Amino acid sequence: MIELYMDEWFYNMGILGLFRILEYAKEKGAEVNYSVNGNCLAFDEKILDNFAEYYFDYFTEKYSQILYSDLVAHLDRIESSKRIGSLKGFLESSRVEKTLEVIKEVLSEEEKKDLEQVLEKVKKAKRSRSKNGEEAKELSDEEFLKVTGFLRNIFAYIVRNDGVKRRRGLSLLRNDFYDNFFGQISFLQKTLTKESFEVQLAKFKEDFVEPVKALIEEEEKNDKETNEGKRRKRILEHTCMLCRRHKAKVYDDSFFGSYFIPLGMTKEATNFMWNGNLALPICEICILVLMCTPAGATKITDYSLISTIQGNKNATDNTFFAFVNATDSLELLIQYNNMLLLRRSEDVPFQNFFKDMAEFQKVKFKWMLDNVTLFEFRAGYESKRSHIKFSYIDRGTAEFLLNEMDEIDKLKNDEYKVIFLSRILFGGSLTEVMYAKLRELLKNERTFEMYDVYRMAVLKAFIDTYRSLNGGDSMQEQKGKVKAILYKAYRSGQELRRALEQNNAANKLPGIGYRLLNFARVGDKNTFADSIIRLYVSQSMKVPDILLSMLSDYEVDFETLAYAYISGLLGEDFSNKNAGEE
C-alpha cells in the first residue's frame, strides 16, 4: 500500500483530490482499494495501472457537468425574462458556439437541420423596442419556450455523449490547469492542444504514473537487497521535501514553478530560498499527488473587491479556487471541503459553508475552527502573477460566526453580504464597505436601502467586541451597549432628516451626505462634529449626546458610529417592520 500523510495545505489539497478521484472511480464500478485512517490516505499500488483513466474520466466528467449546469441555468434565466436579445447574446458567446460546434458532430442529420433552423430564427429576430422603452417580444411565449426547450435538449449531449463530454471537458480542464495550477507541462503543452483525448491521457501516464511505478519497483528491489545483505551501489540520493519518505530528484527549475504555480516560486528568486539554495527534491509520488490538486479545490466567485461591486465585474477577476485546510484529520478535511463544494454555485458560498459547519457539530464549532484555515488562490501562468488569500479563524471570530450568522443574513444586498463576510474572514476594512455602500446608495437615490448600512455598523461593532473579549460572560452586556449606541446614532440622524424635511430643506441632504462621508472617511472628527452642530443650530434643535460618543471613540470607533448616523440621516424614515430588531 502507498501511504500519504497530511502536511502543508497544498499537499493536503492534492491528497483530497486523489481521494475524490478514487472515490469517483469506485462509484463508476472500478475495483479500487483505498482507505482513510487518521491523517493518512492509503491505496493499493495496483490502482496505478488504470489511474490515468480514472484521472481524465473524473475531470472531464466534472467539467462537463459544470458546463452543462451553467448553460442550463443561463437558459432558465433567459426563459423567465423571454428577452430575445438575451438569447441572442447567449448563443453568440464563444463558450456556447464552441460547445454547439462539438455537439453538431454527433447529431443526426435531422437534428442538425433542426438546430440550424432554431439558430437562424433567433439570429433573424430584431431587437426592437416598444413605445414605453421595453424590449418587444419577437416570439410568442409558446415559441420562445419551444426554442429554449430544444436548446436544453441539445445541451444534454454534453453529459450524455462520451465524445462530447471528453472533448469539451478536456478543453475546459486544460484552460484551468494551464493558467492556475501547472503551466505548460506534460499534456498541457500548447503543441498537444488539438491532440485526441487518448494521446493526452497517454502523455499524462508516461510523465506521472509510470515514474511512480518505477520508483516503487526500485525501492522494493533496494529493500530486498538490503534484507539479503547484498551490498548496494552507492548513489547520490535526496529525500523528498514533502513526504520525507521517498527518494527524490532535484530539478533544475523550482519544483513549485512547474507543478504548483500559485506559490509563485521560481529559480530567479534566490533570496526567497534559505541560503539561496534552489535544490527542491521531490519524489514522483508527491508530484502525482500535486497533479491532483485541482480535484481538491472548489472553484468559486468572490466579489470581495469594491470595484467589482461598483459595476466593474469581470468573471476572470472574480474567479478563485477555494480550499479548507483542517489539521484534525483527513476525514474532517474531506467533510469540510465537501460542504464547500455543495455551495460552489451560490452567491455566498463561505457564509453557507459556516452555517453547515455550525449545524454539523454546533457544540464543538468554535474549537473546530481553531484547526481550520481557509485559502483562496488564483494564478496566471502567462502573466507570472499569483494571488493567495488565507484566513486563520481566531476564537473571537469563531464565536461571532456561530452566534451572528443570522444577523449577516439580514443584509438585503447579496453582493455586499459576500464582501462583508469575505473581509471578516480574509481581512480588509469593513468601514470601507460601508463607505462604498453609502456613496452608491446616495448616488442612485436608493434611500430605502440605507438601513443595510446601519446593520453593517452593528456587525462591525460586534466583530470588534468578539475579537477583543474572545467570548466570555461579559459578551452579551457589551453587545447590548454598542448596539444601543449605534441605534441612538441612527435615530439621531433620522430625527435631523425629519426636521429638514419639515422645513423644506430635504434637497440639501445629498450635499450634506457627501460632506459628512468625506469627513468620516479621513477621520476628521472635529469638522464632522462642527458640520453636525451647525445643522442642529440651523434647525433650532438640541445637539444630541451621541455626538460626544463619536468624539470619544470609546465603545465604538468614530468611523463606524459616523456611518450609522449618516445611514439614518440619508435613509427613509424608520419603519415599524424594523422596530422589532432593536
pLDDT, tens digit, for every residue of 321-374? 888 888 878 998 898 888 888 777 666 666 677 767 666 655 555 556 667 788
pLDDT band at 576; cut points 50, 70, 90? very low
Cβ of 153: how many Cβ atoms within 10 Å?
A: 12
- Three-state SS string over 512-554 comes to HHHHHHHHHHCCCHHHHHHHHHHHHHHCCCCCCCHHHHHHHCC
d(CA 248, CA 254): 14
pLDDT band at 265; cut points 50, 70, 90? low
Quickly tell me which residue has 447574446 as its cell: 89
Per-residue confidence (pLDDT) for residue 234, from 0 to 100? 46
Per-residue confidence (pLDDT) for residue 70, from 0 to 100? 86
8 Å CB contact between 308 and 347: no
Per-residue confidence (pLDDT) for residue 309, from 0 to 100? 44
Helix or strand holding residue 340 (H, E): helix 330-342
Q: In this predicted model, what pLDDT tens digit does every residue of 239-254 receive, in sequence order?
A: 787 788 887 766 544 4
Q: In this predicted model, what pLDDT tens digit does every residue of 72-82 receive, in sequence order?
A: 888 888 877 77
Quickly tell me which residue has 459578551 as its cell: 475
Whole-model pTM: value is 0.77
| Cα angle: 295, vertex 296, 297; to 5 degrees | 95
Over residues 139-168, the mean pLDDT reads: 85
Q: In this predicted model, what pLDDT tens digit does every residue of 521-572 receive, in sequence order?
A: 998 988 998 998 998 888 888 888 888 777 776 788 889 999 999 999 988 7
Is residue 382 over pLDDT 90? no
Q: In this predicted model, what pLDDT tens digit does every residue of 12-69 receive, in sequence order?
A: 999 999 999 999 999 988 999 999 998 999 999 999 999 999 999 999 999 998 889 8
Backbone φ and ψ for 113, nearest 5 degrees, come out as -65, -45
Max mean pLDDT among 121-130, 183-192, 226-235, 311-320 falls in 183-192
Per-residue confidence (pLDDT) for residue 359, from 0 to 100? 66
Distances (CA, A) of 282 to 187, 265, 290, 426, 560: 20, 15, 11, 31, 50
pLDDT band at 183; cut points 50, 70, 90? confident
d(CA 115, CA 121): 10
Is residue 384 over pLDDT 70? no
Going by C-alpha positions, the residue among 151, 139, 154, 153 that lies closest to residue 81 is 139
Per-residue confidence (pLDDT) for residue 133, from 0 to 100? 47
Q: What do you get for the CA distance between the two ends of the chain, in Å?
A: 61
Is residue 256 over pLDDT 50? no
pLDDT band at 209; cut points 50, 70, 90? very high
Residues whose CB is less than 8 angstroms from the CB of residue 357 and which lie 6 or more positions away in sequence, other chains included = 336, 339, 365, 368, 369
Q: What percent of the chain has pLDDT over 90?
A: 17
Distances (CA, A) of 519 to 154, 513, 529, 547, 558: 58, 10, 9, 14, 11
Going by C-alpha positions, the residue among 203, 201, 237, 199 that lies closest to residue 218 is 237
Over residues 497-512, the mean pLDDT reads: 88
Per-residue confidence (pLDDT) for residue 107, from 0 to 100? 86
Per-residue confidence (pLDDT) for residue 306, from 0 to 100? 47
Over residues 166-191, the mean pLDDT reads: 85
Over residues 188-214, the mean pLDDT reads: 89
